[in-house]
Copies of this chain bind each other. A is one copy, B any other.
Amino acid sequence: MSENIPAVQQFETLLQGNHVAPDSLARMLQELAYQDYGLFFTNLSKVPKDLLAEVILALPLSLFKEAVSMLPHKKLADVISYLESDKATDFIQRLERVEPQVREAIYPLLHPKQQEQISRLSQYRSDEAGAYMQTELLWATTGEHIAEIKEKLKVFKKHKAEMPLIKLFVTDKEGHLVATVHFSDLLLFEDEKTLAEVIDALPSHKSLSVRDHTLITEVTKLFREFDLAMVAVVDSENRLQGCIVFDDIYDLIFAEEEAQAFKMSGTKQEAEEESLLSAQRHRLKWIFINLGAILIAASVVNFFRETIEQLVALAVLMPVIAALGGNVGNQAVTVTVRRLALGETSWQYAKEILSKEIYIGVINGVIIGLIVGTVAYFWFQIPMLGVVIGLAIIINLSIAGLLGSLLPLTFKHFDIDPAIASPLLLTTATDAIGFFVFLGLAKIMLF
């Protein structure tokens, strides 16, 4: 029966392929779970055991929970043993969160060496480089000969076939990082040379390293700026602790960007993935926060009740003011948040951003103001109403440009993430100010 289901066929084709990406398998399983939990479980059991833990780790949190609850403890401990240290730590921490009893039961079943790695990596906060490093790496001391390295390499390749090998880390006898050497460099030296000799012969052997407590966002920046493939992670005394590799960086860049997109709308990826309930609650929190601001905007309108009573056309045009202010303000917010994400913060830069956004707000305000003013004139046949809405749009869009850049800049100045719900707050601010300007002008100029 299951042969008729295209998703199952696709899943099996993926499994038979030469290159199996755990992410793709996880995504197919997720699709199957939407159709039928039974299909999810039967196909999960088809995944080879050396990939299984990685596939489970790539599932959304709710399915992760299902998968780990289904597997016998011994099997679970077995499949975790195939994970690299950073992923094993991630797996155990996630287990701690969703199934603490399972975590308690399987932890003692792990190899003592893996336990030791996990407990070491667990000490790092989730925003520190240490939390993302692999502790399995090929390293050697300056006294070793090329011939010895070749032997080490053979052993390493046998046990860690999946690990990317780009550079060899070289330390002194106490484990302090001395250099990193490309394998293509080693190829050019004779077996009897020591690493110290190799390093001396190479024009530039110095390598960038990062501290284990460095923020991971700084590390991803470093990878992008210096086109790194791999970087050593050292402790405060420059002792080699592990390394961070390009493949983690792909996911980190993607995750950082994704987190920002979510934040801007008052949502949160972890909450969305955890469960329907947590997604709903996290979103509600931001709407609550914004609700206060919305009621202020409503109070502004309330203040002008008599004016609206005199001319209801004003109420008809209010949504135009609000929507345009929100549009223009959010364009400014998006552009400013992205520019701030690139790291510029000087006063000169802020001045440049502000003047750009105000300029665009004024120009587009004048163009749109003239158009809407004309439309309103023909619609309601009240010349002065056209002038009032036109003026109000010019003023409101100029303020929207100002606020759209000032809001993220101010957040950044006080070290608050400028992406957090900026568009939500901005929309309400331009609503309140826009209504005040529009209804205020109407009160003065129309009656």
Contacts and interface: CB of A to CB of B under 8 A. Distances in A.
Interface of A: 7, 18-19, 21, 23-24, 27, 30-31, 34-35, 149-150, 153-154, 157, 161, 164-166, 182-188, 203-204, 206, 208, 223-229, 246-247, 249-251, 253-254, 257-258, 260-262, 264-267, 269, 272, 276, 279-280, 283-284, 286-288, 290-291, 294-295, 297-298, 301-302, 305, 308-309, 312-320, 322-324, 326-328, 330-331, 333-335, 337-338, 342-344, 346, 348-349, 351-352, 356, 359-360, 363-364, 367-368, 371-372, 375, 423-424, 427-428, 431, 435
Contacts of A326: 326, 427
A185 B156 CA distance: 12
Question: Which secondary structure dominates chain A's binding surface?
Answer: helix
A233 to B, nearest CB: 17
Copies in the complex: 2
Given A165-B182, A165-B184, 14 more contacts: A149-B187, A150-B187, A153-B187, A157-B184, A182-B183, A253-B254, A257-B261, A265-B331, A267-B335, A287-B327, A287-B368, A297-B320, A302-B316, A309-B312
Contacts of A208: 19
9 contacts: A19-B226, A23-B224, A27-B342, A253-B257, A257-B257, A280-B363, A284-B368, A291-B372, A305-B312
Q: Which 6 A-B pairs have the closest CB atoms?
A: A227-B247, A257-B257, A21-B225, A265-B334, A315-B315, A165-B184
Contacts of A298: 316-317, 319-320
B254 A164 contact: no
A185 to B, nearest CB: 8
A227 B230 CA distance: 13
A349 B34 contact: yes
A228 B184 CA distance: 18
A287 B366 CA distance: 13
Instruction: Name the residue in A149, A276, A315, A349 with the highest tally of chain B Cβ atoms < 10 Å from its Cβ.
Output: A315
Nearest to A357: B279
A280 B184 contact: no
A327 B424 contact: yes
Contacts of A351: 34
Nearest to A376: B298
B305 A316 contact: yes
Contact of A280 (B7, B284, B360, B428): B360
A145 to B, nearest CB: 13
Given A187-B183, A327-B290, A250 B253 contact: yes
A364 to B, nearest CB: 5
Contacts of A302: 313, 316
Contacts of A269: 338
A183 B189 CA distance: 13
Contacts of A294: 319-320, 323-324
